[in-house]
Amino acid sequence: MIKRTLSVVVFVSMVSCTNESSAKKSEDVKSTVAESVAPATGAISPANKTGKMCYANFDNNDTIIISFARTDNIIKGELLYQFDEKDRNMGEIKGVMKGDTIIADYTFISEGINSVRQVVFLKHGDEMVEGFGSVSDDRGRVVYQDLSKLTFDKSVTLKSINCESLPAIK
């Protein structure tokens, strides 16, 4: 099973990368973000000066980053998936925060194709876990058939990080 990691990067362009350059960029991102992971005290890092919150997971050459701002229960931000030897995709998320759960539409370009799919993340302290389940097509938008039946596999956990130290990924 491919381990998934989630990431969002602020102000980045959507560009396809070759496998060789993706691996190098993933290493660059890992080394920079490794320095910005929330302290081991277990404290939740507050939103940075821009009001954004950021979470990331780096596993081997796979990267997931999510960054978002929250106004009341409205979430807006960016999400990046960069898996080793796969086309990366990054785009925008817009949705709502219901309790400890983000439910959003992820609009992205992958292999030159515009796509929209629903994403769901569950917040546990200073970590986020992405939900997965059965999906269907709703007028060109991939959505979960039943949000109550999603599974949240903690094998891929995004840790709270300092947004201001995230590198721009191009």
The pLDDT tens digits for 77-98 are 999 998 888 878 889 999 999 9
Annotated domain spans of the chain: 19-165
Mean pLDDT of 117-138: 95
**What pTM did the predictor assign?**
0.70
Residue linked to tokens 């959003």? 104
Q: What is the DSSP letter of 87?
A: -
Secondary structure class of 57 (helix, strand, coil): strand
Q: Are 12 and 129 in contact (CB under 8 A)?
A: no
Confidence of residue 111 (pLDDT cuts 50, 70, 90): confident
- The pLDDT of residue 168: 62
